[in-house]
Amino acid sequence: MKHILNILPMFIFFIFYKFYDIFIASGSLIISSGLLCILYWILYHEIDKINLFSFFIITFFGSLTIFFHNSQFIKWKITIVYIIFSIILLISQFLTKKTIMQRLLEKDITISNVYWRKINFFWSLFFLFCSILNVYIAFYFSEETWVAFKVFGFTFLTFFVILITGIYINCKISKEK
């Protein structure tokens, strides 16, 4: 349920972009992200750190986009978020006993630390790749193409990487038994 709720602001952004423009869409993204945090509080009596971080970063870049009437700010938002995620995963890779991915998933999945480190590194590279891809699409394609790719392309890529990770974990669990 949470994962479905997390992609809702993105689709609201897309719908408002299709009917209005990038500036109205940015405002709708800010509002829907804030409402998502409130909804999490009502349903779960907590707000995930990632959702709170996303809300603040969306509010910051979305507000700059609206205030300066310049779409470049909202285009950079996802790049910066992906770079931050990549760096955080890399830091956990080399400076902590347990990686971020292990901390997120170990209560449901039991595999050795070696495999967790490979998964963590894979996701760090994935986020770095997405940040580079976003810059390329944002600045070498039309705004409309960028919006569509931001919503549908990155969603598809993320689901694909989740599938690859799941298959990898399943193979390692089978191997360890």
pLDDT values of the chain reduced to their tens digit, one per residue, 177 residues: 667 788 899 999 999 999 999 999 999 999 999 999 999 899 888 888 888 998 999 999 999 999 999 999 999 999 999 999 999 999 998 988 889 888 888 888 888 888 989 999 999 999 999 999 999 999 999 999 999 999 999 999 999 999 999 999 888 776 655
Range of the domain at 111: 72-177
User: What is the rounded CA–CA span in Å between residue 145 and residue 128?
Assistant: 21
> Where is the domain boundary, 16, 50, 70?
70
pLDDT of 112: 83
> Where is the domain boundary, 70, 88, 115?
70
Cβ-Cβ contacts under 8 Å for 123 (sequence gap 6 or more) = 89, 101, 161, 165
Residues 48 and 102 in one domain: no
Residues 101 and 154 in one domain: yes
pLDDT of 142: 96
pLDDT of 110: 81
User: What is the rounded CA–CA span in Å between residue 71 and residue 61?
Assistant: 9
pLDDT of 2: 67
State the Cα angle at 40 between 162 and 62, rounded to 5°.
80
pLDDT of 80: 93
CA-wise closest residue to 32 among 8, 48, 50 = 8
Q: Read off the tokens for 79.
A: 């790049």
pLDDT of 106: 80
Q: Is 110 helix (H, G, I), strand (E, B) or coil?
A: coil
- If one counts the domains in the chain, the total is 2
Residues 28 and 61 in one domain: yes
Residues 88 and 159 in one domain: yes
pLDDT of 50: 83
pLDDT of 104: 84
Residues 56 and 140 in one domain: no
Residues 89 and 172 in one domain: yes
Q: Are 10 and 150 in contact (CB under 8 A)?
A: yes
> Where is the domain boundary, 44, 70, 96?
70
Residues 20 and 58 in one domain: yes
Which contiguous run of DSSP H or E holds residue 81?
Answer: helix 72-95
